[in-house]
Structure 1
Amino acid sequence: MTNDTATEMPGSRATFAAGCFWGVEETFLRQPGVLATRVGYTGGHAPQPTYHEVCQDTTGHAEAVEVVFDPAQVSYEDLLAVFWACHDPTQVNRQGPDIGSQYRSAVFVHDAEQEALARASLAREVPRHRRPIATQIVRVGPFWMAEAYHQQYLRRYRPGAAACGVCG
């Protein structure tokens, strides 16, 4: 699967999973310095998964958002703050009404610097919650772009609406 915007756009990349990708994408699109996004699937074992396969919770993939950003306008730490604020990182394999490992909370890091920043951010986040944080911090693997109708879904089909009670 190809992407018309994110893979061709210069900039740094960050990848986050925080539940239903529609609301997560919309949240990041609102951030100054975010140049592009694409929603898709990562962290699993099946090549080229479809939405239907991922929703069956058998591929191991998470619904995720790849964010292309200009580090001169927004830092990776700022994007991490948005990530933590837009969902409940203490929920295991769910967000809002959506249940399954595809809705898990995860920061998919692209390099050692992102990993160090994500782990430091996680450590600062722990005292803010009464329950343990379930968020995974793992190296990003192949990112499979979701079907075209999922891209910027809320902007195209439900302007102003939140999705799944998460982010958005």
Structure 2
Amino acid sequence: MRRHAALLLAASLTLAGCGVANAAEGVVAAPQAERTARESGLKTAIFAGGCFWGVEGVFSHVKGVKSAVSGYHGGTKRQASYDLVSSGITDHVEAVKVTYDPSVIRYDQLLRIFFSVIADPTLKNRQGPDRGAHYDAKLVPMSNEQLAVARAYLAQMTKSGKWSQPIVTDVVRAKAFYPAETYHQDFAAKNPNHGYIQRWDAPKIAALKRLYPGVYSASFQRD
């Protein structure tokens, strides 16, 4: 992982998850979001929030999440490889497809977790130490219900005034999602001593446990 080894030199940068936790924690979903999030049956949604290791690592510790798969959203299948995407020459973003049980965890609750401990909504084309359009934070709803919730939640965030900078996270329509290479799957769980994981992603998982003990699962969720 040449990219991540080099980026450890950026340790002085603010951790995105810790930097936004208090703000997002205080945002609650609007009534519309509460109503439309009450879906039945397993649902999927895609979240892009910087390096997919941390996004997957956090959501895999959320009760009700059945699977979290790292991959590439958008672009073409031919270019959906780590080397090409990380070079910045494709139209993909690193993303995670989350399958969840809405009777246990609602979509608006996943959004709250996302903006509390994973992604800084005021950053464009970067998160944490990572730079490039393939690290942009995006919400990718997979249904009209999720679309309504996502828009309502971002509007609520903007209205709250808890961020000093404009919120720039986009809601985009779902395109093709390509699972990443096998070695990227469950990366945080399989490589807890990796320097990047310890510096940037372990604190996010710890923040999930601290801020949301009721939904935190110590057991890593897998298919």
TM-score band by shorter chain is 0.7 to 0.9
Aligned partner of residue 84 in structure 1, secondary structure? helix
- Please give the root-mean-square deviation of Cα atoms over the aligned residues, in Å: 1.8
Bigger fraction of residues in helix: 2
Structure 1: segments with no counterpart, 5+ residues: 1-9
TM-score by length of 2: 0.67
In the alignment, structure 1 residue 132 sits paired with structure 2 residue 162: no
Q: Which position in structure 1 is the counterpart of 2:95?
A: 64
Tell me how far 1:162 sits from its aligned partner. 6.4
Q: Which position in structure 2 is the counterpart of 1:54?
A: 85
What does 1:119-158 correspond to in 2, within 5 Å?
119-126=151-158, 127-158=161-192
1:100 and 1:119 mapped to 2: Cα distance? Answer: 25
1:161 and 1:125 mapped to 2: Cα distance? Answer: 33
1:52 and 1:161 mapped to 2: Cα distance? Answer: 20
1:41/1:143 contact within 8 Å kept: yes
Q: Deviations over 1:20-53 (max 9, x none)?
A: 100111110111100111000003x222410000
2:155 and 2:147 mapped to 1: Cα distance? Answer: 12
1:65 and 1:134 mapped to 2: Cα distance? Answer: 19
Q: Deviations over 1:48-78 (max 9, x none)?
A: 4100000011111110010110111110111
Q: Which position in structure 2 is the counterpart of 1:101?
A: 133
2:193 and 2:47 mapped to 1: Cα distance? Answer: 22
1:110 and 1:14 mapped to 2: Cα distance? Answer: 5
Q: Deviations over 1:127-163 (max 9, x none)?
A: 2211111211011110000000000101012269763
2:152 and 2:139 mapped to 1: Cα distance? Answer: 12
What does 1:82-97 correspond to in 2, within 5 Å?
82-85=113-116, 86-97=118-129
Q: Name the % identity.
A: 38
Q: How many residues align?
A: 158
1:160 and 1:31 mapped to 2: Cα distance? Answer: 22
